[in-house]
Structure 1
Amino acid sequence: MRRRMRGVAVLAIALTGTLSLVGCAKDTGGNNASGTGGKGCQLAPKPPAAPAATSSSNAGPKVDASTLRIGLAYDIGGRGDASFNDAAAAGLDQAIAQLGVKKENTKELTASPSESEDAKQSRLRQLAGEGYNPVVTIGFAYADALAAVAPQFPNTRFAIVDGSASAPNVTPLGFAEQEGSFLAGVIAAYKSRSCVVGFVGGVNVPLIQKFQAGFEQGAKTAAPGIKVISQYISTAGDNTGFQDPTRGNVIAKGEISSGADVIYHAAGASGKGVFDAAKESGVKAIGVDSDQYNQPTVAQDKDVIISSALKRVDLAVFDYIRAVAANDLGSLPKVFDLKVDGVGYATSGGKIDDIRDVLEGYKAEIVQGRITVKDKLTG
């Protein structure tokens, strides 16, 4: 059921009791020359320089996907959310442009807020029943519906982003979100002048906790004395937290009033409210999933978006379609992580060009196994 709070005042009161403060060390001055005002955090020593990049193209032989009829079942928000769903849409668009998929042979359907499991199952049955194969489901919310529907269509290939279903015709497409979020935490630490940063999650579920865990670890690794304020828009079972910019705005303002001057969100379309709050308050923001600096629906806020933690759902969707067309699902990685550029960070706008060497150094430490990024919250 959709749960709404009555008014900003009620939500603000709730926030005071639920803010999570991590690493409440006092600002020690620091050597951060980025940003405006304040001294910034005392930064840890920079990681070793990353090794020179080498070409590792995995393009493989040319694949013709022109005969495929592809169905996409989006999570709430759908195409146009400037985040998670738009990343999936970009993968489909790339398959149309590069693999010969015909636009008229695709169908895109979108979930509604607070819909029932029956509605999700009906959507998947519709796509499979109309002959779309493969059918790609976007988001963990489809896991139960897919477990019920996939066995009913054994000759249809299904994929699910961020979930799994125990059926032989289902391919899970999973990500190391915590690794990209770690780099977002490093960015926040280097760009903060107050040595206080914030995280806004959409729904308090294990998937989004991976973003929080990585962000907090990255910020604390780069600046051990930093304070991280973390808050969620809705609780588990209430997925409206991914599509409520108003509540995202209020939560971000609460974190800003507590001193945060860089806010990172993992909240889907609710991130628009986070960006608006950052713009109004004159602080910085970090987007998620897509390169949000370049998303038209948040264009008025782009000047405060210093980066985005990329979750390459576009890459996963494109690679899956390509693998289906080539009849080679075994070529897909077990997880889309930093090693395969399945996660990363955006550089649009040039606002983090001065710390690219630092970020590449930390990335190399993770890829080479010298830093293990936690995917669960501790403590």
Structure 2
Amino acid sequence: MKRVVSIAAAVAMTAGLAACGSNDKSPGGSGNGSSGSEFKAAIAFDVGGRGDHSFNDASYAGMEAAKKKIPNLKITTAEAGEGENDQARENRLSQLAASGNKAIVAVGFVYAKSIGTVAKKYPNVKFAIIDDASPDSKGTNVEQITFKEHEASYLAGVAAAKMSKTGHIGFVGGVNVPLIQKFEAGYFAGAKHANPKIKIDKTYLTPAGDFSGFAAPDKGKASANSMFQKGADVVYAAAGKSGDGVIQAAHSAGKWAIGVDSDQALTADKSVAGSVLTSAMKNCSGTVEDFVGSVKDDKFSGGNKEFGLKEDGVSLATTGNHLSAEAKKAVDDAKKEIVDGKVKVSPTPSK
């Protein structure tokens, strides 16, 4: 039976604990335990947490997959709080490291500075951060996991343009930061490749620095409703849990939503999941599973690992079989062009 321990309530008390020592003091600090002992791993979620039907859930699925291969794996989870600062995130990671976890996953670029700091204090603990490869998080005991979200988003744009009956689509970003701009860039490029005359609306729910845009389904729903009322019939959301609101709006309007990170035709509420045209996915689950396994097997290697279409790190979902034959062919052709290097998708929006 899988053991999952929540430490959200303990985070507020971690500052003093983190200051007690600068190295991993847990028993067997440099080893990962025998086959008969408990192997501890942890995951610190981004804003939105478990149940976001997207980024956080996809990452946690990797822990569950690792559990199937490592029966003695004990998983600890830690939730993020809205509006928290780097110190709060540093405290959370320090608590996890001090508690004997040997593999710690930080979900989201917001952990960059804190993971860089904590990793230096606990050199015998292995860390992974998803969606960041900056100098802030770099360390010999840190694996930086990044994806070519712009490539999957390009395919989503092709699908949206081919499936739109009005020639008008939309994009809802959670927070206006470079990571989410990668989704925008790919989506716009793919849509314009499929239909040069396509009209695309876009909005960001919050500006850079305000991460509540990843956990505001009401704002996502309002933004999508506005786009649907103006004539858009397909809206792509790269907005974490806020994407739930976009899917709800699509269902109410009888239009399409495009999911992100996870296959949201499977993870969204069943009452509205039928309105998910497709999802631009990234394999957070597989990369997390591989990271935990590498630590357990003493095969960890740090540094940045980037995954795109060629590496099967990103993809476009087909659940529901909603895409027309024309759209499917266009998506398949676009994917081949990218994998073959004939098309280079820019990760930054055109000006």
Question: Per the shorter chain, which TM-score range?
Answer: 0.7 to 0.9
2:43–2:105 CA contact under 8 A, matched in 1: yes
Tell me what 1:317 maps to: 288
TM-superposition CA deviations, 1:156-184 (whole Å, max 9, x none): 11010011312211110000000000000
Pick aligned residue for 2:224 from 247, 252, 265? 252
2:172 and 2:223 in contact (8 A); partners too: yes
3-state SS in 1 of match to 2:144:
strand
Find the aligned partners of 1:271 and 1:357 in 2 and give their Cα distance.
27
CA distance in 2, matches of 1:329, 1:148: 20
* In the alignment, structure 1 residue 176 sits paired with structure 2 residue 145: no
CA distance, structure 2, for counterparts of residue 352 and residue 329 of structure 1:
40
Q: What SS does structure 1 have at the residue aligned with 2:350?
A: coil
CA drift at 1:67: 5.0
State the Cα distance separating 1:356 from its structure 2 match.
Answer: 2.7
TM-score (norm 1): 0.79
Distance 2:273 2:139 in 1: 42
**TM-score, length-scaled by structure 2:** 0.86
Q: Aligned residue for 1:218?
A: 190
1:341 to 287, 294, 312: 312
Equivalent residue, structure 1, for 2:75 = 106
Cα distance in structure 1, aligned partners of 2:114 and 2:270:
35
The partner residue of 1:147 within 106, 116, 140 is 116
Q: Secondary structure at the match of 1:299?
A: coil
Residues 1:117 and 2:123 aligned together: no
Distance 2:151 2:87 in 1: 35
Q: Summarize deviations over 1:243-302 as a string: whole Å, max 9, x none.
A: 00111111111111221100000000001111111111111111000000111x522111
1:146-203 CA distance string (max 9 Å, x none): 1221111011110100113122111100000000000000110111000010000000
Q: Please point out which of 320, 340, 344 is paired with 1:368.
A: 340
Q: Distance in 2 between matches of 1:365 and 1:302?
A: 30
Give the total of aligned pairs: 313
- Find 1:281's aligned residue among 230, 253, 256: 253
Q: Deviations over 1:59-90 (max 9, x none)?
A: xxxxx898531010010121111000000011
Identity over aligned residues, as a percent?
Answer: 41
Cα distance in 2, alignment partners of residues 251 and 348 from structure 1:
25
| Secondary structure of residue in 1 paired with 2:64 | helix
How far off is 1:330 after superposition?
4.5
The CA RMSD over aligned residues, in Å, is: 1.7
- Assess if the C-alpha contact under 8 Å between 1:65 and 1:100 holds in 2: no
Please list every run of 5 or more consecutive structure 1 residues that lacks an aligned counterpart in the other structure: 1-63
CA gap 1:331/1:134 in 2 versus in 1, 3 angstroms: closer
Tell me, yes or no, if structure 1 residue 166 matches structure 2 residue 138.
yes
Task: Give the conservation status (yes or no) of the 8 Å contact 1:347–1:353.
Answer: no
2:21 aligns to what?
A: none
Using the alignment, how far apart are the partners of 1:183 and 1:88 within structure 2?
A: 22
Tell me the equivalent position of 2:237. 265
Match status 1:131 vs 2:100: yes
Q: Return the alpha-carbon distance in structure 1 between the equivalents of residues 81 and 208 of structure 2.
A: 17
The question of 1:240 aligning with 2:212 is answered yes
Q: Which residues in structure 2 correspond to 1:61-80 (within 5 Å)?
A: 68-80=39-51
The structural deviation recorded for 1:329 is 3.4
In structure 1, the residue matched to 2:5 is: none
Decide whether the 8 Å contact of 2:144 with 2:303 is kept in 1: no
Displaced runs of 4 or more, over 4 A: 64-67, 330-333
CA contact under 8 A between 1:186 and 1:359: conserved in structure 2? yes
Aligned residue number for residue 67 of structure 2: 96
Q: Is the Cα–Cα contact under 8 Å of residues 78 and 92 in structure 2 kept in the other structure?
A: yes
Find the aligned partners of 2:244 and 2:202 in 1 and give their Cα distance.
17
